Structure 1
Amino acid sequence: MEKRYKYLVQPLNIYFLALSNYIPEKALPLIEYLINKHRVTLKIVGQRQTKHGDFRSLPNGKMQITVNNNLNPHQFLLTLVHEIAHHVTHTKFGRVQPHGKEWKTVFQHLMLPFLKPEIYPLSILPHLANYLKNPKASTDTDVNLSLALRYGVAGEGKNFIFEIPNNGIFKFKDVLYKRGNKRRTRYECLNLSNKRTYLFNQNAEVILIE
């Protein structure tokens, strides 16, 4: 089945057949249970630069989750459960801090059954377990988990910042930079337009200028 659709629709057997293209096979029964239990409305959308997914309470009273269709199965699964946790938190507690203690507790509880080597490989599992001790709004803030979830490979035509040679020139968001030295966990990079130095996380994806 090709990934051309944007909506997951009824009947349920078609709904979950579609979803099986996006998440690890062994995770499907657990996700099916969560979607049925919490009556989740899921929309799969095109890539967005600023987020992998989101949760919205719509003006008509309905609640909707969206997840980007360009994510690999392990990224997609984590993002989906992240957003289901928002759904459950909103239903249970109403208006609270988006990634506050209520959401953290719900997210940890929902993710626990997925922490299995048949769902997440051992290259990801320890980093994921560590992240879930105190989950943040974005997995990108956890460099080790972020790199593991991407299987250590940057997007097409891009490089991770640590792959750029020292003093190498790269483009990030249409701005040219020169890579400098590593400062603990981040890299000093000179903006060639304003001559100011910025710190880049190791998992930043940039375009090397030959």
Structure 2
Amino acid sequence: MNSDYQNFIPAKAIPFLQFLIEEHNFTLRIVNKRATKHGDFRQLPDGRFQITVNNNLNKYQFLLTLVHEIAHHVTHQKFGRVQPHGQEWKAVFQHIMLPFLNPEIYPKEILPYLANYLKNPKASTDADVNLSLALKGNVAETGKSFIFEIPFGSFFVYKNIIYERGNKRRTRFECLNMSNKKVYLFNQNVEIEVYDK
């Protein structure tokens, strides 16, 4: 097990994580950013287990993603094949995440959102808008903006498609796809590029 991961997480989290890593047998690979996921867990053809985590995540996102994937591994060891984000995984994830719910590990700006998310964790932290924004420090990637930051009627690019930002519903924005003229709903934590005509 390489210790490169220690550079990617808060220092106070290292002892807890070291314990989890020694307790459960898997290979950890830190990989380049993937558009569709922050991390994953899988069994390799030779029977070994592997967890991958994207290298572009900040230390708070990285730690949460790594524990999320370790929870998949532990769930697999304890219960075999079950729903990927079902009750078994949720219980394991909540249990192994508890030591990390600590102001010496996660800043007080993130802790309440993280605690709330862990009451009923979803498949992706990005599904929890408040937690997602808190983990990013309310700062979008360089060259991008959050959809809520651009004015009504603005054009933006998301996955190489131009949209026009419309009204905000309760929690999401209606956006018109300029190619097929259909309206799509975007969470407010979606990062987009402003389109300059």
Counterparts of 2:128 and 2:121, CA distance in 1:
9
Match of 1:158 among 141, 144, 169: 144
Is this contact kept in 1: 2:39–2:54, CA < 8 A? yes
CA contact (8 A) 2:10 2:59 kept: yes
Find the partner of 1:187 among 169, 173, 183.
173
Normalised TM-score (structure 2):
0.97
4+ residue segments displaced more than 6 Å: none
Report the equivalent of 1:20.
6
Task: Work out whether 1:167 is the aligned partner of 2:140.
Answer: no
8 A contact 2:5–2:30 mirrored in 1: no
Whichever residue aligns with residue 33 of structure 2, its letter is Q
In the alignment of these two chains, the number of paired residues is 196
- Aligned position for 2:185: 199
Which amino acid counterpart does residue 83 of structure 2 have in structure 1?
Q
**Counterpart Cα distance in 1 of 2:6 and 2:56:** 14
Within 2, Cα distance between the matches of 1:123 and 1:107? 21
CA–CA separation in structure 1 for the residues paired with 2:25 and 2:45: 18
Please report how far the alpha carbon of residue 39 of structure 1 lies from its aligned counterpart in structure 2 after TM superposition: 2.1
Q: Which string of whole-angstrom CA distances, capped at 9 and with x for unpartnered residues, describes residues 104-148 of structure 1?
A: 000000000000011000110000000000001000110000000
Per the alignment, residue 83 of structure 2 pairs with 97
Paired residues of 2:26 and 2:48 also in contact (CA < 8 A): no
Please tell me whether residue 59 in structure 1 is matched to residue 45 in structure 2: yes
Q: Tell me which residue corresponds to 2:104.
A: 118
SS of residue in 1 equivalent to 2:8: coil
**What TM-score comes out, normalization by structure 1 length?**
0.91
Match of 1:5 in 2: none
User: How far off is 1:152 after superposition?
Assistant: 0.3
Q: CA deviation at 1:174?
A: 0.6
Q: What's the counterpart of residue 71 of structure 1?
A: 57
After superposition, give the CA deviation of every residue in 1:151-202 in whole Å (9 maximum; x if it has no partner).
1011111100001111001001111111111111111111111111111100
For the pair 1:46 / 2:15, whether they are aligned, the reply is no
Computed over aligned residues only, the root mean square deviation of the Cα atoms, in angstroms, reads 0.8
Per-residue deviation, 1:41: 1.4
The residue that corresponds to 1:135 in the other structure is 121
Which AA in structure 2 matches 1:55?
Answer: F
**Percent identity over paired residues:** 68
Q: Which moved more, 1:37-46 or 1:167-176?
A: 37-46
* Alignment match, 1:109: 95
Distance 1:129 1:104 in 2: 13
Q: More deviation in 48-57 or 190-199?
A: 190-199
